[in-house]
A = this chain, B = another copy of it.
Amino acid sequence: MSEPRLRADAADNRARIVEVAREVVAGSEELKLNAIAKRAGVGQGTLYRHFPTREALLAEVYRHDVEELVATAPALLAEHDPITALARWFERLADYARVKRGVLAAVEVGVWRDLTARSLGPIGEALTALLDAGRAAGVVRPDVDARDVILLVGYLGRLEEQEWDTRARHLLQVVLDGLRARP
């Protein structure tokens, strides 16, 4: 289960890649992988070994943000009824997704990776907690899981900037209604 521990230079390279990637997305330049490699002073091979896909890199870059997002779930549940908590959580997700497009991809890949590994993983746990609470209260339909929800809100990633204001929040509401238990 525990990683075989990286060699010193490898860990170094990995860290430098992530750092450069973070700078790049922070400057809202687009993420060109071989450029990242060059700027990090490593070959492409190195980059691709550490992060087999673009999403893997994004997942690492946004890990902090994702963890932040995950952390809000319990707090929301403590303060609100399950449906409201879920709604609020969606809003947070939307806020992230708007500014940092990559975060959505990171979440998607994360949930998928985790679910197939049969361990929910942080995001899965957060979402599952929200869903479970709703189910327990009889306000969320019993037949949906974290992956389902992620699939549904995935439209956020395909939204054009200009239609964000009119559609993002609004469709989140539609999704939420779909997740409710049918009376």
A19 contacts chain B at the CB level, 8 A cutoff: no
Decide: A158 near B148, CB < 8 A? Known: A177-B178, A183-B183.
no
Return A156 CB to nearest CB of chain B, in Å.
9
Chain A contact surface mostly: helix
- Quick one: which of B141, B167, B176, B183 contacts A151, CB cutoff 8 A? B167
Task: Enumerate A117-163 residues with CB–CB distance to B below 8 Å.
Answer: 141, 143-144, 147-148, 151-152, 154-155, 158-159, 163
- In the complex, the answer to whether B151 meets A175 with C-beta atoms within 8 Å is no
Contact residues on A (Cβ < 8 Å of other chain), bracket: 20 to 34
**Given the complex, which residues of B lie within 8 Å of A163, measured CB to CB?**
147
